[in-house]
Amino acid sequence: MKTMLQLIKWDLILQIRYNILTIAIVISALYIMIFKLLPGENLDPLLIILLLSDPAMFGVMFIGVLVLYEKDNNTLDALIVTPLKSLQYLWSKAISLTVIAIPIAIAIAIFGHGLKLNYFYFLTGIVLSSIMFVFLGFAIVSKSKGFNQYLIKFALWTMPISIPVLGIFDIYQSKLFYLVPSQATIILLKAGLNHSLQSWQVVYSIFYLILWLILSYFLASKAYQSNLTKGK
């Protein structure tokens, strides 16, 4: 536990050093300005899209930045001779990035919707999604040779994940959306904003995100072990 806390602290320090926290705050401030400038009473569809991008951004983009920095500094190679386990390394990254994502997501939600939130559903959606995206992001970036290559993989990966966004604006609806994990995130965010939903949708969303979290951790752990084996 002590080692884990030290790792989380160190990752938070790195995120501040690499200006990840600063970038996150600036982006969030821009989101808040959008809500202040836009007319209209029901901005929840836009809010849900921005909130969906919050855990995705922290999970996929910023884990990529962190890992690529570590590759450049040969930090991952140094892990070969340490007793650090993949579980500790990956969960430290996931927890530290999620710790930053949570207050930012809450701030965006409050400015865009108000204080009346269902915080249980809201935070469940943000936390599960953020951790899942961190693990998926690590699996993607671990095989990337540079930031440009990672951006290409990131763009290709986000396209299918973004498909359920079409349903938010009723552009297109399909039951197949329920196969995409972002659909579960969208439902929990709607529940967090006190939208009327059926019980099975909320139950599905929680368990489906947990399932994807487990799957994404397995992929990230395999990628971590593959890197170490290659390093040896």
Reduced to 3 states (helix: H, G, I; strand: E, B; else coil), residue 164 is coil
**Rounded-to-integer distance, Cα 25 and Cα 22, Å:** 5
Pair 134, 61: CB distance under 8 Å? no
Can you give the residue range of the structural domain that contains 121? Answer: 2-231
The whole-number pLDDT of residue 232 equals 44
How far is CA 190 from its chain centroid? 17
Does residue 90 contact residue 36 with C-beta atoms inside 8 Å? no
Contacts for 232 with CB less than 8 Å, ≥ 6 apart: 80
Measure CA 93 to chain center: 11
| pTM assigned to the model | 0.91
CB 161 within 8 A of CB 181: yes
Q: What span, in angstroms and rounded, lies between the C-alpha atoms of 25 and 54?
A: 11
| Residue 196 vs residues 47, 77, 188, 190, 228: alpha-carbon distances, Å | 16, 50, 11, 8, 47
The structure tokens listed for 72 are: 């450049």
Token digits for 44?
């929840």
Do residues 192 and 119 touch, judged by C-beta distance below 8 A?
A: yes
pLDDT of res. 146 = 81
Q: State how many domains the chain has.
A: 1
> Are the CB atoms for 182 and 63 separated by under 8 Å?
no
Ranges of residues in the chain with a pLDDT under 70 are 40, 74-84, 227-232
| Model pLDDT for residues 183-202, shown as the tens digit of each residue | 999 999 999 999 999 999 99
For the record, the structure tokens of 49 come out as 């899209």
- Tell the residue number behind the tokens 């890992």, with chain if given: 67
Tokens of 17: 């050093």
Please tell me the distance from the alpha carbon of residue 110 to that of residue 122, in angstroms, as a whole number.
12
Question: CB–CB of 58/24 below 8 Å?
Answer: yes
Q: Residue written as tokens 């806390």? A: 5
DSSP assignment letter at 79:
G
* Angle (CA) 168 172 178, round 5°: 70
Instruction: Collect all residues with Cβ–Cβ distance below 8 Å to 216 and sequence separation of at least 6.
Output: 132, 133, 135, 136, 139
pLDDT of residue 189: 96
